[in-house]
Amino acid sequence: MEANRVYNFNPGPALQPLEVLKEAQAEFLNFQGSGESIIEISHRAKEFEAMLNQAKTDIKDLMGLGDDYDVLFLQGGASTQFAMIPMNFAGSGKTGNYVLSGSFATKAYQEAELLEIGHVAASSKDRDFRHIPTQEEIQLSDDAAYLHVCYNNTIYGTEYHYIPETGSVPLIADMSSDMLSRPIDFKKFSFIYAGAQKNLGPAGVVVVVARKEFLSNSPKTIPTMLRYDTHAEKNSLYNTPPAFCIYMVGKTAAWLKKQGGLTVIGERNAKKAKLIYDTIDNSDGFYRGHADKDSRSLMNVTFRLPTEALEKQFVEEAKTQQLCGVKGHRSVGGMRASIYNAMPYEGCERLAAFMENFRQANA
């Protein structure tokens, strides 16, 4: 880590790989010898579309997906996907089925409910979203158009460690906070999406990875910009795309490939998370994890301290150690350490050491 930078544990916007930031800085005035910045160049320029296509190829390579999948770059945040998904894929007598595993999962369901085409297939709300509903808990309705899951629950710190079996019903996943963090059998999903600002780049673009066939049948009544087929047919260039964001996501994907791909990054992420979870588990109850052990997220580690006063003190003292953004979401309270791909192992070591020292001083 550079001397003037901090370890940023914020949930999103989040820490980005230093190499990527430096590369972008070095190229900022002159994109690929064009004499123009990436934010000045026309999105109709051939260099621009080549860059966009390379980003798509790298993302699909990382995910082990072939020609039957497409990658789209959309705007409006993951939150706009919550509305577009039921508009495009449910209705005409079919409902969107949802697993409610946290705040974003619930928000996604509520958008379907506005159209009166939502169905709750499972929920872990009754136990403060501490666990990911199991396969046995998921009850699909007979009229299911799809099952929507939120693969990593950023606020509660839980994550799927299995892929729900849905038979012939398409599986849709919000992977905003864990896309490209570890190898997953992505072929089991018809549609995956992520707001970039957690694990993939800057805020301002949503990455959609979906089966081409699934994207091709938007109902005729949907406004042009809210149709997936509009964006698929025009290679995400129907209107002016978020050029800089796509460029940064492309660089991040190339960086991931250079690291060795999802197997390597997944092992690294598991080691990082283990450092912090072990510190919680070996603290004699001083730290209490929010998530059930079998549902723990490798990306967002949520935990509480014995009192709110100690939690406040923890946040303040952490800052003096270059450890920033560890305050939890108000709906859970306590702490949350977001440790996405870009967080180096040393950042987690430093946090774990700080936690141990803090406990010894305050237990």
Ligand X SMILES: *Cc1c(COP(=O)(O)O)cnc(C)c1O
Binding site for ligand X (CB under 6 A): 12, 77-79, 104, 150, 154, 174, 176-177, 195, 198
Q: How far apart are CB 265 and ligand X at their closest, in Å?
A: 18
Q: Which of 351, 261, 349, 342 is nearest to 17 (CA)?
A: 342
For the CB of residue 215, give the shortest distance to ligand X in the complex, in Å. Answer: 20
Instruction: Select 283 or 300, whichever has its Cβ closest to ligand X.
Output: 300
Nearer to ligand X, 177 or 190 (CB): 177
Residue closer to ligand X (CB basis): 16 or 279: 16
* Closer by beta carbon to ligand X, 78 or else 280: 78
Q: How far is the CB of 79 from ligand X (least distance, A)?
A: 3
Which residue's CB atom is positioned nearest to ligand X? 77
| Residue 341 near residue 260 (C-beta atoms within 8 A) | no
* Contact between 194 and 7 (Cβ < 8 Å): no
Min dist. Cβ of residue 1 to ligand X (A): 24
Distance CA 208, CA 193 (A): 4
Structure tokens, 228: 């997936």
According to DSSP, residue 182 is labeled S
Three-state DSSP at 335 gives: strand
- Cα 322 from Cα 8, distance rounded (Å): 8
Nearer to ligand X, 56 or 198 (CB): 198
Joined together, the tokens standing for residue 79 give: 């939150």
284: left (phi over 0), alpha (psi -120 to 50) or beta: left
- E strands, 88-217, where? 95-100, 118-123, 144-150, 152-153, 158-159, 171-174, 191-195, 206-211
For residues 286 and 325, which CB has a smaller minimum distance to ligand X in the complex? 325
Helices of type H across 127-226: 212-215
Residue 219: asked if its preceding bond is cis (omega within 30°), the reply is: no
Least distance to ligand X, CB of residue 154, Å: 3
CB of 293 to ligand X, least distance (A): 21
> Which of 71/355 has CB closer to ligand X?
71
Least Å from the CB of residue 198 to ligand X: 6
Q: CB 65: neighbour CB atoms within 10 A?
A: 19
State the Cα–Cα distance between residues 260 and 256, nearest whole angstrom: 7
